[in-house]
């Protein structure tokens, strides 16, 4: 479905992934030499009044008119979009973030690569397309996320540009929703720790997530943490969480479980007494600042507060185990409890040389929950128990069930 003078190109991530031999999920297209009126006449449906993007009448894929963009306000507050038939493909590609996303395929399948994206793919390098990179601070987060997805390095000149943007206060203007969106996406990537590392390298971690940045350089007891540095530990934990589960909720809990150690007075190092409760408060604050979904906040707070107790599960008395289960709301929220146990296992394994150790504490707590949950309330009600008497009797039976479920 074309018209004279109109040229269509496949662009962006689908071109990149095709060259990398990765599955192509969604294809995006750029239309050169056309107008909104002409596309509508061909049956394309415009989405949004101020943005020149249209849906193909048959495939539903997005087709955008070739455009340029100009920053209209400091920080991430607005861009003027200019789209008309005179905008060239190269001008459209120049406004993109990194070279590997600034390639196109013409209708004959020929690659158009004006900024060296294919060579950067070969070198496994993320490099900005043009100085216009500085106009959108969300690109700092995108570069970090692509590093987490692809395992690519960041070109020295691009990293220097990102540092300059941070020093100029550009990331301070990012909206909470956009920061959270990029963090959540990064948590789902192959190596989410790279997202943290890149942000730290350019200084953005200290501005956006100071609670995380504060962990680097804080020592822990070497007999429990051979890696010593708390920041290094969190990166190891995040790597283990990615190994254990694709769930971004589990990975988020792993990322924030030790935030409290960043607030331990240096005179108390390398011990961190009370870091669990301090950390839970910091998780609350971080999630509030970025308007995180409630399930992230709840799991993050639980993991920060209870991970130390979970690690001691094999040594706890049955009554204490029951209180742990109740604190985690494990009977009503078993899925969330399982996620917390995975985050705790990642924490246990996320130490230098501990990656392949078993975590019997997790299985012990699963068995304890199952045994306690199997206790029936009906026989107690049939005995006429109610109120406090009912609660005490139920607790007693659950404690006994936990005791009996323990291996000999």
Q: What is the chain's pLDDT, residue by residue, as a tens digit (408 residues)?
A: 445 578 999 999 999 999 999 998 889 999 999 998 999 999 999 986 767 899 999 999 999 999 887 665 544 445 556 777 889 999 999 999 999 999 999 999 999 999 999 999 999 999 999 999 999 999 999 999 999 999 999 999 999 999 999 999 999 999 999 999 999 999 999 999 999 999 999 999 999 999 999 999 999 999 999 999 999 999 999 999 999 999 999 999 999 999 999 999 999 999 999 999 999 999 999 999 999 999 999 999 999 999 999 999 999 999 999 999 999 999 999 999 999 999 999 999 999 999 999 999 999 999 999 999 999 999 999 999 999 999 999 999 999 999 999 876
What does the pLDDT read at residue 83?
75
The span from the CA of 251 to the CA of 368, in Å, is 24
Structure token digits, residue 313: 């599960």
307 with 348: CB under 8 angstroms?
Answer: no
The span from the CA of 158 to the CA of 225, in Å, is 34
The strand pair at 45-46 and 104-105 is best described as unpaired
What does the pLDDT read at residue 407?
76
The span from the CA of 160 to the CA of 140, in Å, is 11
Element (H, E) at 296: helix 294-311
Q: At what angle do helices 248-256 and 294-311 cross, to 10 degrees?
A: 60
Query: Scanning the structure block, which residue is given the tokens 């601070």?
Result: 137
CA angle 224–277–193, rounded 5-degree value: 55
Distances in Å between the alpha carbon of 40 and those of 37, 66, 144?
5, 16, 37
Q: Is the peptide bond before 181 cis (omega within 30 degrees of 0)?
A: no
Structure token digits, residue 324: 């742990």
Structure token digits, residue 267: 């005179």
Query: Scanning the structure block, which residue is given the tokens 């920053």?
Result: 71
Element (H, E) at 239: helix 230-244
What does the pLDDT read at residue 78?
54
Can you list the domains of the chain with their CATH numbers?
A: 1-115 (3.30.460.10)
List, in sequence order, the alpha helices (H) in 64-137: 89-94, 117-123
**DSSP assignment of 69-123, as one string?**
EEE-SSSSS-EEEEE-TT--HHHHHHTSSBGGGS-EE-TT--EE-TT-HHHHHHH
**Cβ atoms < 10 Å from Cβ of 86:** 10
**Cβ atoms < 10 Å from Cβ of 286:** 24
- 120 contact partners, CB below 8 Å, separation of at least 6: 98, 99, 100, 126, 127, 155
Q: What is the dihedral of CA 46, 47, 49, 52, to 10 degrees?
A: -70
- Of 314, 315, 322, 256, nearest to 285 by C-alpha is 256
251 with 241: CB under 8 angstroms?
Answer: yes
């Amino acid at each position: 479905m074309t018209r004279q003078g109109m040229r269509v190109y496949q662009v962006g991530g689908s071109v990149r992934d095709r060259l990398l031999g990765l599955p192509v999920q969604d294809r995006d297209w750029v239309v050169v030499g056309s107008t909104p009126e002409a596309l509508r006449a061909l049956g394309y449906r415009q989405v949004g009044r101020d943005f020149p993007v249209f849906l193909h009448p048959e495939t539903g894929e997005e087709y955008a008119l070739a455009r340029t963009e100009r920053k209209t306000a400091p920080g991430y507050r607005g861009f003027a979009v200019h789209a008309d038939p005179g905008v060239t493909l190269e001008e459209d590609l120049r406004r993109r973030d990194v070279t590997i996303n600034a390639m196109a395929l013409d209708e004959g399948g020929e690659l158009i690569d004006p900024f060296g994206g294919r060579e950067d793919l070969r070198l496994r390098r993320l490099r900005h397309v043009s100085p216009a990179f500085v106009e959108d601070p969300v690109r700092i987060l995108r570069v970090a996320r692509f590093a987490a997805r692809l395992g690519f390095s960041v070109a020295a000149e691009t990293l220097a540009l990102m540092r300059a943007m941070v020093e100029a206060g550009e990331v301070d203007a990012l909206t909470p929703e956009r920061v959270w969106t990029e963090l959540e996406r990064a948590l789902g990537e192959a190596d989410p720790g790279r997202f943290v590392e890149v942000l730290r390298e350019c200084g953005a971690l200290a501005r956006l997530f100071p609670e995380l940045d504060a962990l680097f350089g804080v020592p822990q007891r070497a007999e429990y943490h051979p890696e010593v540095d708390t920041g290094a530990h969190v990166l190891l934990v995040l790597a283990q969480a990615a190994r254990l589960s694709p769930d971004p909720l589990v990975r988020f809990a792993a990322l924030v479980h030790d935030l409290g150690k960043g607030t331990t007075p240096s005179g108390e190092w390398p011990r961190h007494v009370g870091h669990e409760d301090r950390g839970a408060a910091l998780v609350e604050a971080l999630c509030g600042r970025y308007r995180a979904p409630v399930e992230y906040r709840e799991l993050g707070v639980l993991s920060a507060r209870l991970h130390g107790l979970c690690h001691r599960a094999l040594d706890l008395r049955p009554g204490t185990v029951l209180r742990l289960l109740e604190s985690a709301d494990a009977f009503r929220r078993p899925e969330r409890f399982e996620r917390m146990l995975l985050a705790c296992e990642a924490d246990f394994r996320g130490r230098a040389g501990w990656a392949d150790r078993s975590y019997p504490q997790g299985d012990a707590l699963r068995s304890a929950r199952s045994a306690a949950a199997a206790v029936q309330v009906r026989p107690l009600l049939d005995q006429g128990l109610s109120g406090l008497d009912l609660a005490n009797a139920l607790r007693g039976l659950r404690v006994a069930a936990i005791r009996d479920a323990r291996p000999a």
